[in-house]
Structure formats: structure tokens, C-alpha cells
Structure 1
Amino acid sequence: MKISLVTCSYQQGKFLDATMRSVLDQGYPGLEYIVIDGGSKDQSVDVIRRHEHALAYWVSEKDRGQTHALRKGFDRATGDILGWLCSDDLLLPGALKRVAAYFEAHPEVDVIFGNALWIDAQGQFIRPKKEMRWNKFVFLYDHNYLAQPATFWRRSLYEKVGGLDESWNLGMDSDLWLRFAHHAKPHYVDEYFACMRDYPEQKTRALKPAGRVEDATLSARELPALQRLPQRPLGWLARAGRIGIKLVQGGYWASPPAEYVKALERYRIV
């Protein structure tokens, strides 16, 4: 099964080599890896050129932002399964093989999401992000809890919904997951697929107020009947529901496989 993975990057040269190696170290024979750089002036292009022999396509040119860059990558993708890995995130060993095996064993499933590890700016393990099953109310009124780099889908579904919408700057993944859910319920797989980096300059963290505006827009679009109700109590209810579900599932004291935490050593940023 062919998997197309897109990495978009801009001025992220200090992380990009680790990100790309985590993909190429997968050794997955059906990988189509596409890297879209926004015309970085740091060491990004040198990093990409070091790995270009293993890439299906790469470019470094000015674009209209992250969502536009991702669309450019997916427009070139020919794989059966798609996903994206931001230039500061990592794939865990064997992730693509496990993703492909799941889709092959479950032809009825069109989109999956798994668990992730939170790591810091240097790539050291912080804590696991063990998830819960899809719940639209919790997703909209608590937060987008799907780990984006641990989410994969069939290309046919992506084409059915028209792909990423460039009008979203921060919530492009939330918007895409919700449009997916109109056709195919996102399916939770209790596997660790990726790492997400948590540091002050990280985009969603640095632009949190703008993200809240986009989140509110999505809630109004997806659950318009609830807009007549006080919004803050709905948020409390969603948060309580998420905490309760994760407590029952053991999500707050999960222990990821030790080999995944150990594997982070080869991608440490010094």
C-alpha cells in the first residue's frame, strides 16, 4: 500500500533534519515523501538537499502559508493513504508499516487517528498523549484532540471532501477532520504513531487567541442549534466528559512502549 506523506516547512531548519530522518528511517517501501518549503532563508534547503535522493518531490519557494503549502504537496500525492508531518514533529519507528497494515485489514475504515508523544524543543520525552474515541461534541467544545501527525486517511476521502481549505490558518486540520466525519467516522487506533513538539514558538501555542476564534467558527458551523445556549457551560461539560472518558480508559497514566521513548535519542536537537 502506497503512503504519501507531506512535510511543509518555513524557517524550521533546526528541526527539519530530525523530522525528515524520522520519515526516511521508517524504511517503508511504499513511501512517497514530498517536502514543501516556503522559501526559507535558514539552513532548510541544505537539509532538504541532503535527503533529496529519497524524496518524490521537493520545492522551496514563496507560498501563501501553511495550508497552501500542504495543498501543493497533496496535489502531487499519488498514494492510497495520505498524511502530513509538520517540520517540527516526528514519526515513531514502524509507524507507516503499522498504519498500512491497519488500512489493509480494515477496508471499511477511511480515516484513523492514534496516540502521540509530547516532546520538548530538544526532542526529549515529556508525556504521552493517549487518546479517546471520536466524539464530535468534545472535539468542538473542548479542543481538537486528534494528534495531527498521528492521523492518516484514504486519498479517496480527501478528494471527496475537496481537500484542505486555504481559508483556515490554524484550524485547517480541525476543518478537514470535521468534513471527513460527514462521510466517514474518524476511527481511533490505540497505537503510538508520532511525536508532537511543545515549545513557546510552536504555531498553535503562539497564536492561541486566533485559534480560539477559528474554533468558535467551526462550532457554530457544525452544531448551530447549540449556539442559542451559553457557550461557557458547554465547554465545561465537554471538558468534564473528556476527562471522565480518559480516566475510565486510563489515558492519564498511560505508559508508552519504552522502545519509542528510547528511539527519541537519535533525533535529539543539540
Structure 2
Amino acid sequence: MTPSFNKGDYIQRTIESVLRQRRDELEIEYFVFDNFSSDNTPKILEKFSSLSDVNVIQQKDSGQFDAINQGWTKGTGEIFAWLNADDVYIETVLWDVADFFNKNPDVMVIYGESVYLDDKDKVLKSVTNIRDYSRQHLLSHDFITQPSTFIRRQVFEQVGPLTGKYRYVFDWDYWIRIAQKYDFVRVPFLISGYRITGTNLTSTGKSKRLKEMIALVWNYGGIIHLMYFVLRLLRKYLFGVSEIPNI
């Protein structure tokens, strides 16, 4: 599903990246929840509203987490994911995702590779922050890229909905909550394009996002993991390393 609000410059490419995944062996149920956008988003969504596998719903929500929860609650499929309204899926990768889940029935959650895109779809660099899964490391390092993550319905039913406690790191919070019940599996293929526009939450959060990250690490990991988190930030600062590319 896709939570949408005033992303008219990108949302058509987002939707089309989902629709390109169509094939006879793969059933897609796609929800777009738009929070009454005031830009050209409604006109773009109108183009897709008549398609049988696209469900465009305009209604108020309390933020991205709320729209995602609503979409997943309405969903009838077995594999859940969300794709923000400025990100894209790569080629026909959903078939690879479905095939992996079919061949590995005991796997509940997967995440894969991603690349950063600019506003013209140019690949800026690979997302190098992604790491092999470790439940302990997840308490101090969000190494899971959200648009490259997929969960089984059972996970949503057991873990429950995303929380509105955080605005900038609600996805990381959800990964930690999932990890308390299920192990993630990293898959070795490229799944998504993560767009850096200067207006998304990752780019605009800055000090507010940092405060949320510190609060989250303290809440789940305590002083030890907070120390790991701070040391990692210091190393990046001292060596001038920035994961997110400049645009």
C-alpha cells in the first residue's frame, strides 16, 4: 500500500512501478490512501481509480503510520508492504519476493537491497547502510531499508499496527517490535528505489529525527545500545561519512 499526501511530482511513477509488477502468476492488491492532497495528486490518482487492482481511497488520517495501518487492515493478501509516494519498486521484483516466500514458508519477514534516486530517477548510489540481520544490532542501528521490506500477514496480526508514537522513526520502531517475535531474513536482490528529494521525512527531520532516534534506542536498548548508537554517529562525523547523498 501507499500512503499519499502532496507527492504529485512522484506518485505516478510510484504507482506505475507497482503496476509493472503484474503477471499472471502474481496477484497484486494495491491500496493508495490519500490524505486529501491539495496539489495535483487527486488528478493523477483519478487516472488509476478505475483499475481493478488499484484501490484509491481519499480520507483523513493521522499520519503515514495511520494510513498504512488502514491499508493493511483492508488488505486480503498474504504478503504486506508499504511503498511511500515518492519511492519505486525495481522492475519485476515483486515476483522475486513472492517466489522467495513460497520457497521459504518458515520465513516471516524479509528485507533486501535498495538504491537512492534523485527526483529524475537517476541512481545516486546504493544504500550502503544495509547490514545482515542481527536482533541485537537492530537496537542501535536501523540497517533495514523500509521500501525493501515485506512481512507476512501473520506478522501484522501478531505484532499489531504501527504506532504513532514516532513521526520520523516509526518504521524502525516497528522492525524492533517485529524482531521481538520473528527473525528477519536479508535477501540478496535489489528491491526498491529510495528517493531523496529534500522534502521527505528522512531529509527534513534533522534534529527532531535525531531526538526520536535517541529516544527509541534508549527505550528498547538502554544505556549500552545508546552508547553504541552515539559511537557510530561520532565515527561518521569524525570521518565525514554521510549515508544519504547530497542533492
TM-based fold match above 0.5: yes
Moved over 6 A (4+): none
Q: Secondary structure at the match of 1:195?
A: strand
Percent identity between the two aligned chains:
26
- The 3 A distance-change label for structure 1 pair 206 and 98 is same
User: Which of 88, 99, 102 lines up with 2:100 in the alignment?
Assistant: 102
How far 1:234 moved relative to its partner? Answer: 4.9
Equivalent positions of 1:1-270 (< 5 A) are 6-28=1-23, 29-54=26-51, 55-129=53-127, 131-141=130-140, 143-224=141-222, 226=224, 231-232=226-227, 234-236=229-231
- The 3 A distance-change label for structure 1 pair 45 and 132 is same
Q: Secondary structure at the match of 1:21?
A: helix
- The 3 A distance-change label for structure 1 pair 60 and 156 is same
Q: Which runs of 5+ in 2 are unaligned?
A: 236-242
In 2, Cα distance between the equivalents of 1:113 and 1:233? 23
Q: Which residue is equivalent to 1:258?
A: none
How far 1:144 moved relative to its partner? Answer: 1.7
How far 1:21 moved relative to its partner? Answer: 0.2
Q: Secondary structure at the match of 1:35?
A: strand
TM-score (norm 2): 0.87
CA RMSD of superposed structures (Å): 2.0
Per-residue deviation, residues 145-188 of structure 1 (Å, max 9, x unmatched) = 21111000001111101121122211111111111101111111
Per-residue deviation, residues 69-105 of structure 1 (Å, max 9, x unmatched) = 1111111111100000000000001111000000111
- The 3 A distance-change label for structure 1 pair 191 and 63 is same
In 1, Cα distance between the equivalents of 2:202 and 2:16? 24
In 2, Cα distance between the equivalents of 1:122 and 1:156? 37
Contact 1:113 1:146 in 2 (8 A): yes
| Greater Cα offset, 97-106 or 22-31 | 22-31
Counterpart amino acid of residue 102 in structure 1: F
Compare the two structures and name the one with the higher helix fraction: 1
Contact 1:165 1:172 in 2 (8 A): yes
Q: Which runs of 5+ in 1 are unaligned?
A: 1-5, 241-251, 253-270
TM-score (norm 1): 0.80
Q: Secondary structure at the match of 1:222?
A: helix
Per-residue deviation, residues 116-140 of structure 1 (Å, max 9, x unmatched) = 1111122111111253211344434
**Count of aligned pairs between the two proteins:** 232
Q: Secondary structure at the match of 1:190?
A: strand
Contact 1:11 1:42 in 2 (8 A): yes
Counterpart amino acid of residue 149 in structure 2: T
Per-residue deviation, residues 171-222 of structure 1 (Å, max 9, x unmatched) = 1111111111011111111110110001211212101212122212221222
Contact 2:133 2:186 in 1 (8 A): yes
- The 3 A distance-change label for structure 1 pair 121 and 237 is closer
Contact 2:139 2:176 in 1 (8 A): no
Q: Secondary structure at the match of 1:139?
A: helix
Q: Secondary structure at the match of 1:133?
A: coil
Per-residue deviation, residues 16-59 of structure 1 (Å, max 9, x unmatched) = 00000000011143100000001001111111111123344221
